[in-house]
A and B are shown apart, each in its own frame.
Chain A
Amino acid sequence: EPEVTQTPSHQVTQMGQEVILRCVPISNHLYFYWYRQILGQKVEFLVSFYNNEISEKSEIFDDQFSVERPDGSNFTLKIRSTKLEDSAMYFCASRPNTGELFFGEGSRLTVL
């Protein structure tokens, strides 16, 4: 069964460092998303991406965040200068033109 894959599964970084989280969405999907879940809190929408551009973003997705689809398969989330409060589980998701959203297993980011 096709699935959304994410790497790394866990990353530990120092405050102020840049982090790139990678995702490979399901191959025929057109819409791509990043969500995050701070430990013990709700899953929160960050950004959606369609046709090589951001279609929606939340207040959380400030100038420290960026997304990119550098080739036909990868979808990345970059945090330019990490803060302690960026520690969370980051989920990538994708969906076809119509249909359900498929989530990856997440990348746990720990900022020290």
Chain B
Amino acid sequence: GENVEQHPSTLSVQEGDSAVIKCTYSDSASNYFPWYKQELGKGPQLIIDIRSNVGEKKDQRIAVTLNKTAKHFSLHITETQPEDSAVYFCAASKRNAGNMLTFGGGTRLMVKP
């Protein structure tokens, strides 16, 4: 089955700096890659997603890139703010709408003011 690896497990940045989180996946049939933000005591919340027919997607300070050949995808957060501090999860699925997601292990992002 699919295996998703995520790095780093923790990331500490200064406010205003950029943060990059990377994931690799094993199943070349996966075609949907969402990113979730989980704040303390809450469920994961979708922040951005990308499908395998595009290489990059951007939404304000957040961008995701996908390299299908290398089977990896990355989350980029620019101009980080303290409220970006949370645990971020990448995931992969063979179905566009995210059925049966396989999650990465999570990255705890800490943005220091």
Asked whether A91 lies within 8 Å of B44 as measured between CB atoms, the reply is yes
* Distance of A81 from chain B, by nearest CB (Å): 26
Asked whether B98 lies within 8 Å of A95 as measured between CB atoms, the reply is yes
Asked whether A44 lies within 8 Å of B103 as measured between CB atoms, the reply is yes
Asked whether B97 lies within 8 Å of A99 as measured between CB atoms, the reply is yes
* Distance of B44 from chain A, by nearest CB (Å): 5
Q: Check A86 for interface membership: any CB of B closer than 8 A.
A: no
- Decide if the interface of chain B is mainly helix, strand, loop or mixed: loop
* A106 to B42 CA separation, bound complex (whole angstroms): 7
Q: Check B11 for interface membership: any CB of A closer than 8 A.
A: no
Given the interface pairs A42-B103, A43-B89, A43-B103, the reply to whether A101 lies near B42 with Cβ below 8 Å is no
| Residues of the A chain whose Cβ atoms lie less than 8 Å from the Cβ of B45 | 103
* Distance of A4 from chain B, by nearest CB (Å): 7
Nearest CB to that of B103 among chain A residues?
A43
Asked whether A42 lies within 8 Å of B41 as measured between CB atoms, the reply is no
* A44 to B106 CA separation, bound complex (whole angstroms): 12
Q: Check B29 for interface membership: any CB of A closer than 8 A.
A: no
Taken residue by residue from 4 to 17, chain B's Cβ proximity to chain A (1 for < 8 Å, 0 otherwise) reads as: 00000000000000
A residues sitting closer than 8 Å to B (CB atoms) are 4, 31, 35, 41-45, 48, 55-56, 58, 91, 93, 95, 98-106
- Given contacts A43-B89, A100-B34, A103-B43, 14 further A-B pairs with CB under 8 A are A43-B91, A45-B101, A48-B100, A56-B100, A95-B97, A98-B97, A99-B97, A101-B97, A101-B98, A103-B45, A105-B41, A105-B42, A105-B43, A106-B42
Give me 17 A-to-B residue pairs in the complex whose CB atoms sit less than 8 angstroms apart, sorted by A's number: A4-B43, A31-B99, A42-B105, A42-B106, A43-B101, A45-B100, A48-B100, A56-B100, A91-B44, A95-B97, A100-B34, A100-B46, A101-B46, A101-B101, A103-B36, A103-B45, A105-B42
